[in-house]
Structures are given as C-alpha cells and as structure tokens.
Amino acid sequence: MFTLQTDIHLINLHYETTATRRCDIQLTDSQDARIQDVLQEFKELLRKDSDKPLVTTKMEFTIDTGDHPPIYIRPRHYHPDIQLKIDAKLSELERNGIVSKVNFTDWGFPVTAVPKPNGSLRICGHYVKINAITKTIKYPLISLHHALQSLGNAKYFSKIDLLSGYFQIPIAAADKPKRALVTPNSTYVFNTMAMGVKNAPAHFQLLMDQVLGDMRYRTAIAYQDDTILFSDTFDNHVLQLRKLLTRLREADLTINIEKCQFGLNQIIVSDQGVHDDMDKATPINNLRAPTNIKEVERLLLGMAGVYSKFISKYQVMVEPIRRLKIKDVPFAWESEQEHAFQELKRSLAALPYLKQFNFKLPSELHCDAATSSGIAVILCQRYDDTPYPLSFASRSVTKFEKNYSIRELEALAIIFGVKKFRMYLECNQFTVFTDHSSLQWFLNTDADKQPRLWRWCLFLQTYDFKVIYVPGNVNHAADTLSRAAILAIASYHPDINWAKEQRLEPMLRPYFNNTNVKYTKHKIVDGILYKVENKQHKTIATDMYIRVPSHLVADLISKHHDSKFAGHGGIAKTKASLVKAHLYWINMTHDINAYIQKCQICQRIKGHVAANHNMATIHGTAPFIKVAIDYYFGPLPTSSAGHQCVLVVIDTFTKYVELYPTRSTASQELASIMYTQFILRHGVPNEIIMCDNGNSLGS
C-alpha cells in the first residue's frame, strides 16, 4: 500500500489555483495492486527526471517567419569557468539528441545561461528577435464549461505529468536552423522544441488534445504537460488509465513517474469552478480601513472609482465615507463608515464574476509594485473599449525582495501576474500595463541584466505580449492595491486644495499642460504636482514633496514659524518643519530667511548676532600672477632624505597646487626651491603672499 497526496493544478474560470488541499489518500491493497499492474504494462513510458525522453511522431514544431531574411546575432562571451559549464551542458544535450552540432548556419542566437539554485545552468537561446517576426498561432486552451459538466459525478482522479514535455516534440528539419545556438566555440541547432520559443504552448496543447481525442472533457483534461484523469468509479478509473497510457504510448510520449499521482478521490467543484482556495478576492478583503482623509481618497475611492460603473448604488454606498472629505469636518471613522467600507470591499471582490474570460478578446495585465507594500496585478478584458476586471492578485514582498531595485520590483510584478494568470495568457496575445517606463524595452536589451532578470526574460520569451507605460497616477487600480500603506502627504495641510492652487501658478502650469512630456524630477499624483527627490525611487512617497505655489509661500512659512506649536524657530528649524510636511519651492531657504528677518517678535526678543568678519578671498587675474605659499608641518615622519615638512604653493587664479618636501623652513632653502622648481617652470609671479607671515617666510 502506498500513500498519495493531492496536488492537482486545475484552472478556475476566473483564476488559476497554485496550491490545492493536501490530504493523505490511502488506497486499499487490491486497488493499489491494480494500479501497479497497469503501470507495469507501460513501464517503458515511465521515466525519472534525469532520464532521456522519447520524441513524438504525431507532430512537428514549425516556425513561420515569412520571407524575413535570416537573423544572426554574434555569440555572447562568458567567464571561462561559466563557458566550461555551458559547453558541458550542450554536450549533455547533444548526447541526449536534443541538440546537434553544425558547422554553418544562416541563423544564430547567443546562448543565455542562467544559474539554477543547485549550481547547474539552464541553457536557452536569446530568441527575442526571431519571436518578434514569427507568425502567431492562436489555439484555444481548455474550456472549463465542458470540464465542469464532465466532473460533476467524478470520484477518482489521477494526475499525469509528461517528462520534459517540450523536448518530446521535434522541430521540422527546415526550421531547425532558426533555433541555432552560437557560442564562441561551436554552433548547435535544436532538434526538439525548447523553452523561450514563441508558439510552443499552442503546439503542445494541440498535441495533447489530439492524443486525448474522444477522452477530452469526458474522462481527461490536458493543460500543457499536466493531464487530469477522472472517473465515477474505481473500476472505470483503472480502465481509463490504461486507455490514456495506451494513447501516450502510441504517440511516443513518456511520463515523469516522480511527479504523477494516482487514485486521488477528492477535489472541490463549486458553482465558481474547480478550486480549493478562494484567493482571487484576498487582496481586496485584506484592504485596511483608512486612517485619514488622504487614505480615503487614495486607498479606497481611487480604486473603487475606476470600477464604480460596475457597482450597484455606488454613490449611496460610499456616501458615509465621502462625508469625511468635507472641509472642516473632523476625521472620525465610526460604525457607519466601517459598514460602508465592508460593503464596498464585498462589491469590489465580486467584480470578477461580472464577465467571464473570453479567449477571443484581447487581454490586459495591469501591474504595479512598491517596496513598502507589495506587488499587485489585475487581469482585464475590454468590452466596448471599457476594461472589465476579471481577477485581482497581490502579495507582499519578502525581506530579500525589498532589496530589489524599482525596475526589478516592477518586473517581478509582471512575472507574478503572468504566472498567476498563465492559463489565460499562454496562447493569446496580451498587453502589460506598468508605471515603470524602462520595462517597455526589458526583453529587447542585454545591458546590465543580472541572472535574476535573465531568468525572467527566458520565462517571458514564450509569451506574445507588449508592454505599455502608464504613469502611476493613471494606473489607479493596481496602484491602490500595491500602495495600501503609502504616506498621505497632502493630508499635512487638508485645508489646501493643492491641485487647484498649483494650477493658478504660472510657473507650475506647464507641468499640467504638457502631460505627454516625461519629467524626471516631477510627478503628478492624484492631480497634485510633486518634486521627486530620489530619481531611482521616484514612486516612494517619502521622496516626494508638494510643489508650493508662490502665493502660498508666506502663509505656509507663517504656519510653520509663527504658530504656537512652531515657537518662532530659526531658519533651520522652520525649514525642517516644512520639509517634514513634504513641501518644496524654489529658493526655499532664502524665502524663510527673509521672512524671519522681518518677523517682529524674532527681532525684538532674540539677541543680535554679529556678522562674522572672515578673511577676504584673494583672487588672481591670470594664472601664476598671484601665488600663496605656506608650510605644512604635520606631524610628518622624517624621510630617508631628511625631509620633515612640506612647502605648499597655490595659484590663486586656477587653485592649482604644488607640494615640495623640505628639510627645514630656512629662508635659503625656501628661496632655492621657489627659484629652481617653481619660477624656472612657471615664471616670476607679480605677487607672493605669505599666508601667516611666519618668521621663515618673511625673513
């Protein structure tokens, strides 16, 4: 008797389950023996991870590039130690028949070697350019409607996993050169389909559907290299298992016995699909109640407003929350607001059920990331040019991911979203919307990519998508999920309508009028213009400061200097108070100083501080016209030549410095050094200034 654990990856209409209920299922001795007998009949199909897979005779992988001329990219050079590992891995693939060495090829793509956690390498070609010119093949994935009808009476389930599924489909002979790998030492072509290849998922799904034939949706569901077998009785399940293995043998397909599971007797089927956790609404349900006015606008109303047209009686529902925004009304979150908040969350969580995924419509993936709170994605489709949300997903970042750059975090959000909704995106074109502009060229550039980014590029090469940059202030929905804890900067002065006041300032008006211009030091969020202090982290709230219009400067300085809480602080204290409130304007220090100088209380009470009379700055009119000299005594160690101090000569015009080691400060040695080493090279200066009028310099 052996114990099996449930690990079925079935797809919900609105989201993909990535983990299932894990419970121990024990078969009786007789049931165990019957399954073992069936497996023995097909033992030639059973392989392990390290074994060589067979190659199917049912299909060939083709690459349609039209009449586009061949593309050849020179090989990438690696460290000698890494290159040795690459050569060894390619030799292993050659022995297994997956690649073949060739002498010449018109097509060629550099090898991308990505380290695995176990120290080995994952080998793939950098196929971005050929994927861009390859004609897209559209093929529908599984229909859950058919699956639900078939699964209604099922009681026994088995999960069949193919061994290195992509390597079991051969490439057409004419198209093998189009997957050529070039290294500094040799050239190889793939004999089988590989990772990173466009249209590979569609080909694989077509193969599995052909293998299943009339079993599809009746007793089996295939999604890529995972096949679920289901039956109403154990006897029928054994019969269907033998039938499925027979068809796999006829197609020369091998399975990974280490990942297969047999005789499972439970999965969860509900009116919402096949699933075992309801994580689609978790990001919405985890939203915390706002704690101030800005969080009301940003966290809840900003996101809900995007989808308000889909929520019944939206305006009535949010009225208790909206009242908190009324001027001069104290912020008080009470039971009425909490009830409205929970109702709104339930309405948002129910949005994915408004529309079912339509494989004939283009899909959109809206992504966002923030170090402080996490990453978030929303899967949408457009109906009448209106984006309808189908599913939400988000998670917090780990302590290691918090060290990622903003670019890596935003890329991680894309990876998270594509994996989460792979079922809908894999064989279809889709668009990714992100608020990080550099990701538009993420796949098309090799510069400065870390192994982590290379792994993500290899994963994304299989998918047919484009990236569109959307500023964060436009991408409200995903931005709300990821920035649930963003600082409420504008709430420091809730009595000021910043968006309105800023537009009255002529100097600030161009930022709002030229919306197509991308400013590196300014950002518009919720209609408010911010000065961005840290360009590398320009989406983090602590680095953003409200641009103050000139007509509000005096009033704001007064509030942070004259109020009873400010206590008429000095320039530094007043400026620190304004900066803490995330306020900024040009000539900020000058304006604060001018205001304090005119403050009657400060002038009457604070003592007069006499101005410092510093030494006047000396400037020459041309190089080496006026020089200054002085000695530096250290303490310095005595050199082998007897030098104890250093003579310093500075040209006051260019600030050019020359240093001469000396044995003493005697006038004779000073004159000798100045004549032989300085004057003979630079000429006689009009004036020599002795910095401290020491005895040795003036004698």
Residue 686 has pLDDT above 70, yes or no: yes
User: Which range among 454-458, 461-465, 532-536 shows the weakest confidence by mean pLDDT?
Assistant: 532-536
Instruction: Say how many C-beta atoms besides its own lie within 10 A of residue 587's C-beta.
Output: 11
* Angstrom distances, CA of residue 10 to CA of 142, 168, 240: 10, 23, 19
Give pLDDT, residue 658: 93
What mean pLDDT is predicted for residues 27-53? 82
Give pLDDT, residue 660: 92
Give pLDDT, residue 275: 36
Domains of the chain are 3-58+140-170+196-274 (3.30.70.270), 279-352 (3.30.70), 355-482 (3.30.420.10), 495-605 (1.10.340.70), 626-698 (3.30.420.10)
Per DSSP, the residues of 611-643 read PP-PPPPP--SSTTTEEEEEEE-TT-PPPTT--
Quickly tell me which residue has 């310093």 as its tokens: 648
What mean pLDDT is predicted for residues 248-258? 87
Instruction: Between 487 and 255, name the one with better pLDDT.
Output: 255
Angle of CA points 477, 480, 485, to nearest 5°: 175
Q: Give the DSSP letter of residue 429.
A: -
**Conformational region of residue 536, where left means phi above 0, alpha means psi within -120 to 50, and beta covers everything else:** alpha
Percent of the chain with pLDDT over 90: 4
Give pLDDT, residue 659: 92
Contacts of 24 (CB under 8 A, 6+ apart): 3, 4, 5
Residues 115 and 273: their CA atoms lie apart, in Å, by: 38
Quickly tell me which residue has 């010119």 as its tokens: 133
Binned at pLDDT 50, 70 and 90, residue 455 comes out as confident
Phi, psi of 624 (to 5 degrees): 60, 25
Residues 120 and 142: their CA atoms lie apart, in Å, by: 34
Binned at pLDDT 50, 70 and 90, residue 649 comes out as very high
Instruction: Between 529 and 24, name the one with better pLDDT.
Output: 529
Quickly tell me which residue has 């399954």 as its tokens: 35
Residues 417 and 143: their CA atoms lie apart, in Å, by: 21
Q: What does the block give as tokens for 462?
A: 């299989």
Q: Is the pTM of this model over 0.85?
A: no
Task: Give the range with max mean pLDDT: 68-77, 192-201, 296-305.
Answer: 68-77
Per DSSP, the residues of 81-120 read HHHHHHHHHHHHHHHTTSEEEES--S-BEEEEEEE-TTS-
User: Which range among 4-8, 495-499, 619-623 shows the weakest confidence by mean pLDDT?
Assistant: 4-8
Q: Give the DSSP letter of residue 415.
A: H
Binned at pLDDT 50, 70 and 90, residue 523 comes out as confident
User: Which range among 215-219, 339-343, 459-463, 586-590 shows the weakest confidence by mean pLDDT?
Assistant: 459-463
Binned at pLDDT 50, 70 and 90, residue 120 comes out as confident
- Note whether 456 and 485 are within 8 A (CB): no
What mean pLDDT is predicted for residues 469-488? 51
Q: What does the block give as tokens for 220?
A: 């089996």
Q: What does the block give as tokens for 99?
A: 């690649």
- Note whether 51 and 428 are within 8 A (CB): no
Tell me: the pLDDT tens digits for 387-407?
777 776 767 677 788 788 877
Give pLDDT, residue 281: 52
Give pLDDT, residue 204: 85
Tell me: the pLDDT tens digits for 463-478?
888 888 776 555 555 5
